[in-house]
Structure 1
Amino acid sequence: MNVVAEMLLTTPAPAAIWATLWILTLPAMLLLASPQAMRNPWQTLCSTFSVLRERGEKRRAAQLEALAATQFAEEVRVAADRAALAAERWQERWETASDEVAIAWQAWLDADARLRTRLAGAAFRTPWSAQTPTEYAARERFLHKAVRTAADNGWLPAAAVADALAGRAGWDARLHPLEQELVVFRASAGHLRDRYERAVAAEQAARHDAELARRTSDSLRQESWTASARAAGLRRRLPAGSGIVVPAAEPAVAAVWR
């Protein structure tokens, strides 16, 4: 017996012949082992081949299931990686929006301080001067320069310069320069307040988007771990020599979110 076993293990041809003979004699052995099979051998053979066929179909179905699970795990992993990258970008956008809120808030505070200082000076009576053409031209130049300077500093929108040159939107060159300066400071404070409110709204929207992207990334990452674990459990059902690599079911390091 040891000699036969050694021959079968070392020489592939006799082993293949032995396996073929064993498969061919299996139906006969089943027939001889069952009295019912001896009375109806054809039905027994059909039942035997039916069982073998069902086993083969189950094996192929298991292989297809393993292949589908592996492919799904890979697709979910790719989606999770992309979602994580998108979440990082949304997080950066939120941080940028938060910085813009702080800048807009400080700019509004500075504008409000300038306005308060000018209002305190306006408590004194405005000097009187005659409305001569020369005086009007000087006041007009002063107004244009003040509005242009405020726009260059970011206190007013660029459209304010065109409005001042055209004498519309409340810009009146007939006012005394001190009054014109007060109008510029008041308009600047209003503009910077509006910009701050827009920055706050943008920051809130960016925060919502960042949190949504983070939840989506976490959900996909969890689904990726689950799919990878299932694919790893079905790895033994993959066809031999398929070369398919099952994604590792190891959790990645979670990012720190504020």
Structure 2
Amino acid sequence: MFIVETAATVWMIVLLAVAAATAILAVPRRPSRAAALPAADPYAEQVALAAEQAAAIARRRRADWTRAQEEVDAAWAAFDVADRDARRYAAAAAFPVFKQRRTRAELADRERHLHRSATAYCRRRELSIAQLNEVLAHRGGWNPRRHPVAQEAALRAAVREHRFADYQAATGRERQAWQDAERAAATVRSLRAEALQVRARAGRDVHYEEQWTSVRPAKARLAVH
């Protein structure tokens, strides 16, 4: 009798365990967030990586823009010096020179002086190759018979013209560098916003310490020469 009761008790325990296990398995389980969004994290990582790569490009573009601004400043300083020199020599050449007959040797010496001076200016990059060719060919008003003071004043004016052209070119490069920096910064902002949205939908928090704001190019100091 005792054995029968013991066996019945054991079977009852077994049946209860089976029923409990069946009930646990039958209860529906809530899927995890990672399982619910299997494709969100990989896409978010790709967007975040693209944003960081764009940020590296944006930093280079800003560095290029900074260098372009420095080139504008240097070009303006060089033009300012050339302008003051040209004005000073123009004032010196304003004094009348008595006309008198010159020998061929003296005229030839003036021509050599003009050619040597123009070549020296060109070697120092104060005159362009095109300007030097004009001087050597005696075109564009270059007269080798003029007094050396007048020749020097004309050369200084040509240097000023060349420096102003350099300044204008530097201003154009600076403006282009600014536009490139602006486009790069806009790309960074767009990608980072997309990464934040994707990760927010996935329940993850992301914060970028580096902020990219709009910048403006340096204003040209002299619009018209």
Q: Same fold (TM over 0.5)?
A: yes
Specify whether residues 129 and 154 from structure 1 end up closer, same or farther in structure 2 by C-alpha distance, changes over 3 A only: farther
Specify whether residues 93 and 71 from structure 1 end up closer, same or farther in structure 2 by C-alpha distance, changes over 3 A only: same
Q: Is 1:192–2:148 an aligned residue pair?
A: no
DSSP-derived class of the 2:37 partner: helix
Stretches of structure 2 that go unaligned for 5 or more consecutive residues are: 1-9, 216-225
Letter in 1 for 2:210: A
Stretches of structure 1 that go unaligned for 5 or more consecutive residues are: 8-14, 27-54, 234-247
Partner of 1:51: none
How do 1:5-16 and structure 2 match up within 5 A? none
Rounded to whole Å, the distance in 1 between the matches of 2:121 and 2:183 is 39
Partner of 2:62: 91
Between the two structures, name the one with larger relative contact order (CA 8 Å, sep ≥ 6): 2
Letter in 1 for 2:41: T
Partner of 2:143: 172
Contact 1:164 1:171 in 2 (8 A): yes
Specify whether residues 173 and 179 from structure 1 end up closer, same or farther in structure 2 by C-alpha distance, changes over 3 A only: same
Q: What's the TM-score, normalizing by structure 1?
A: 0.65
Q: Deviations over 1:150-207 (max 9, x none)?
A: 2233321133233322333443212221111111111111121122122222212222
Which has the larger displacement, 183-192 or 217-226? Answer: 217-226
Contact 1:114 1:185 in 2 (8 A): yes
Rounded to whole Å, the distance in 1 between the matches of 2:140 and 2:38 is 70
Q: Give the structure with the higher percent helix.
A: 1
How do 1:1-258 and structure 2 match up within 5 A? 22=22, 63=35, 66-231=37-202, 233=203, 249-255=205-211
Rounded to whole Å, the distance in 2 between the matches of 1:109 and 1:254 is 38
RMSD: 3.0
- Number of aligned residue pairs: give it: 193
Partner of 2:221: none
Per-residue deviation, 1:91: 0.3
Letter in 1 for 2:196: W
Q: What's the TM-score, normalizing by structure 2?
A: 0.73
Contact 1:143 1:173 in 2 (8 A): yes
DSSP-derived class of the 1:67 partner: coil
